[in-house]
Amino acid sequence: MNLPIYMDHHATTPVDTRVLDAMLPFYTRKFGNASSRSHGFGWEAEEAVEVARKRVAGLIQAKPREIVFTSGATESDNLAVKGVARARCRQGNHILTLPTEHKAVLDSCHALESEGFRITYLRVRSDGLVDPDDVRAALTGGTILVSIMTAHNEIGVIQPIAEIGRLCRERAVIFHTDAVQAAGKIPMDVEAQHVDLMSITAHKMYGPKGVGALYVRDGTPLISVLDGGGHERGLRSGTLNVPGIVGLGKACEICSGEMPGESERLRSLRNRLRDGIFSRVDEVYINGSMEQRLSHNLNLSFAHVESDSLLMSLPDIALSSGSACNSANPEPSYVLKALGTRDELAYSSIRFGLGRFNTAEEVDYVIEHLSEAVANLRSLSPVRE
């Protein structure tokens, strides 16, 4: 076993060597611009992009022409939320989302509020899930967009997006889902789930950073947020990141083939981790539903222990206290607060994100050293009798 141990796969994943091998030629020998259509270098790059487009589409059961390549999840979310709002502003100004969404969606909604759009932030239950009946009740004649994450980046809960998508389809409301944590981890089917827009990114599925995609259902009104050369059917201008796109495509191909087996292996490791911690530590609380949850996610609160102190006590283990985008924020997780978690427990939460290369030996190491660290910190706590 090599140290340190990495269990922060919701923040990012290592690039699979198979992905890297697919990418490398496009940095050197096959370096053409995919928009250069007057010579072989450009044709070769364009062909590679189209192969990747098919692979991405295959992962989510979409048509290749419905895949728009972007720089990553944040851009995809911005394009989806702002692009639909501005395209449909004459039909209405109402948007539904959740207070637990990623900041890329929430901050896009806040920006739209300053433009006159009305945003409804639906409540979530204590298990982190939204009730589809609450979505139905909140839809109005002026609702133009619903944006709800498929699987959560902190607490791992999986929302009932097929049912929500059906409600939106019945009311002719566009449905966007941030599937960044879900794509490649659980089966996604944009047709069966009635999804109109879906955000994904490569670096959450063992691909490179800086490249992602937005699924855009044929006929979905969308205004670009970038102006330039009119690339990607005019929806995302900018020279295509060919090596990154090739890597995204390869990552999607690997996930398509290995997802079922990998999911079961990670669920077994996650349950081993959970059971081991609960057998050795008392006053531990699970955040979010265990039934509707990603197989590689565990989010726990350790009473009477601050998460930052616990993380500092485990220098050989890479974990986090929440989203990587908010890791420098001293405030408790806004996600856990939305679930009704009291401050003491919100400040004591740890997110475990297992991944493709983690082993049972590493899980046992984490159980042992984390349990010892919790016991030591609690012995020093003035509020622990």
What is the Cα–Cα distance from 77 to 83, expressed in whole angstroms? Answer: 9
Instruction: Please state the separation of Cα 177 from the chain's center in Å.
Output: 10
Residue type for 124, please? Answer: V
Contact 266/295 with Cβ under 8 angstroms? Answer: yes
Contacts of 382 (CB under 8 A, 6+ apart): none
Task: For residue 325, indicate whether it is catalytic.
Answer: yes
Strands (E), 193-293: 197-201, 212-216, 284-286
- Contacting residues for 20 by C-beta, under 8 A, at least 6 apart: 247
Torsion of CA 303, 306, 312, 314, to 10 degrees: 10
Question: Which residue from 204, 221, 243, 185 is spatially nearest to 73, judged by alpha carbons?
Answer: 204
Q: Counting Cβ atoms within 10 Å, is residue 57 exposed (0-12), middle (13-18) or buried (19+)?
A: buried
Amino acid at position 287, single letter? N
Residue 175, SS3 per DSSP: strand
User: Phi/psi of residue 255, each to 5°?
Assistant: -60, -40
Question: What is d(CA 213, CA 230) in angstroms, rounded to the nearest whole number?
Answer: 16
How many Cα atoms occupy the beta-carbon half-sphere of 119 within 13 Å? 23
Q: 168, 145 in Cβ contact below 8 A? A: no
Q: Which two tokens stand for residue 256?
A: 């398509």
- Identify the helix (H) or strand (E) that includes residue 53: helix 40-60
Q: Which of 89, 168, 252, 325 is catalytic?
A: 325
- Catalytically active residues, by annotation: 325
